[in-house]
Structure 1
């Protein structure tokens, strides 16, 4: 069995399509298709099926993915045997929400690239549920997310730090519109949502419902930086992780709006790997760097 075919399978899953895998690996699309068919013949199973316009993994394909990881990681181990961190090769695939990527993991990523410059680092951005799914399916090596998915017997999880959010507005917001402690209100200011399934968005939605505070208009953006700029430019208010707005609060570009103290929910952030996944040297290095930056 040619390990190149296994790498192709893994790359299709990671990049999301045959075409993307071809571009990533420098192959033609026909080569990718040939390698998949060759692998299917060798394994006597069907790996992909067409769903609409997309090719998705079959159940058999999902089941063998952890075994493919084991083979590829074993090859990496043999190839890296006796080498220093600077000589390590191979790849590492990580997934996390945007806020953790931008405001928590930059130091870790920089240290990793400095210590293992020859390892190809692939980073996926997704919500917490998507990250957990990717860990369980074997589509990624390490998942980092807010701990909202609950325990799973197939997952090894480790808390890396804790996060709290706050309601922020532009400094010029009138006092009447800045009151989010008094109940039974109708607000004329816009609430800018991150995305519907965000843990922090769910917290503020529940708070407003409990206080009977009605926001007449909402808008949704999928970029933390875009949301902050909209708030700074007096387009609305937003409920965001404090770590994401720390600098703007210190600079006076944003102000924090008071909420009832019972809204002070602290959300752990966790780092996860599949229990059956063998820890490669690059995975061990990344996990070590995360632990060194625990807060």
Structure 2
């Protein structure tokens, strides 16, 4: 069986679209269609139902997808074991949360580049849910994320680094400089939250619910930078990781309030698929993550 047929099948199954799959693989759509038809003929089953523009897996397709992904992992491992290049090389595809990408990742990749200049980085920014999906579908080699501890059977968490969320306000905010802030103290003030990182919102919401306090969301945005700017302008209380606001704290644009409620703890985690072949470039990345204080 031609491995290209398996790659075409998994790509169409992942994207649910022949045109998008063709674009991603650099083929004409007709070539993808021919490859799927050839695979269906070889297997003797229909893999997709085509309902207009919508493409859905048949029950046989769903069953074959599990084995097809495992075949690709094995193929990747086999290719790597035959490689004559033992030092890190090629492309390393890294999935990250937006806050990690803008603050944490540059320091890591700067050190990695100094050690292994032959590696090219491809960065995909997404939510924690998207990173989990991309790892399972082998669309990224490794994920670096800020979240609650992950316990997903198919995934291996290599590195935990504890981080904390903080509540930040502009210097003219009523809570700036006030001591011993509890959940009821912030319930009447507008909150600024990251919309695409539901984990942060859920953690803060759980703390408020445990204290039987409600809160009002003034603004949600997908951008860490935008959220900080709105907080600087006095729109409300921003919930952010401490590492993301170093510059604003140093320049007195933002202050961290004296939060005495339940800790808002998260973890920086470096994760790969448990079946993923650890290429030299991926192994080197895990080593750099361990070596560098980031």
1:229 CA drift (Å): 1.4
Residue 259 (str. 1) matches residue 259 (str. 2): yes
Which residue does the alignment assign to 2:270?
Answer: 271
Question: 1:162-173 maps to which residues of 2 (within 5 A)?
Answer: 162-173=162-173
1:272 CA drift (Å): 2.0
Q: Distance in 1 between matches of 2:96 and 2:107?
A: 15
Deviations 1:105-150 (A, max 9, x none): 2223344455555655433323324323433444432233345354
1:70 CA drift (Å): 1.9
1:279 CA drift (Å): 1.5
SS at 1:278's partner residue? Answer: coil
Q: Please, what TM-score do these two structures have when normalized by structure 2?
A: 0.80
Which residue does the alignment assign to 2:205?
Answer: 205
Which residue does the alignment assign to 2:92?
Answer: 92
Q: Distance in 1 between matches of 2:226 and 2:169?
A: 14
Cα separation, partners in 2 of 1:145 and 1:176, compared to 1, 3 Å? closer
Which residue does the alignment assign to 2:145?
Answer: 145
Q: Please, what TM-score do these two structures have when normalized by structure 1?
A: 0.79
1:55 CA drift (Å): 3.7
Pairing partner for 2:79 from 75, 81, 90: 75
Residue 236 (str. 1) matches residue 236 (str. 2): yes
Give yes or no for contact 1:177–1:189 (8 Å, CA) kept in 2. no
Deviations 1:233-287 (A, max 9, x none): 2222211111111221111111111211x52343222222232222222222222
SS at 1:27's partner residue? Answer: coil
Cα separation, partners in 2 of 1:165 and 1:114, compared to 1, 3 Å? same
For structure 2, the residue ranges without an aligned partner over 5 or more in a row are: none
Greater shift after overlay, 63-72 or 5-14? 5-14
SS at 1:104's partner residue? Answer: helix
Q: Distance in 2 between matches of 1:139 and 1:84?
A: 23
Q: Distance in 1 between matches of 2:136 and 2:152?
A: 9
Give yes or no for contact 1:182–1:211 (8 Å, CA) kept in 2. no
Greater shift after overlay, 243-252 or 112-121? 112-121
Which residue does the alignment assign to 1:61?
Answer: 65
Q: Distance in 2 between matches of 1:16 and 1:244?
A: 36
For structure 1, the residue ranges without an aligned partner over 5 or more in a row are: none
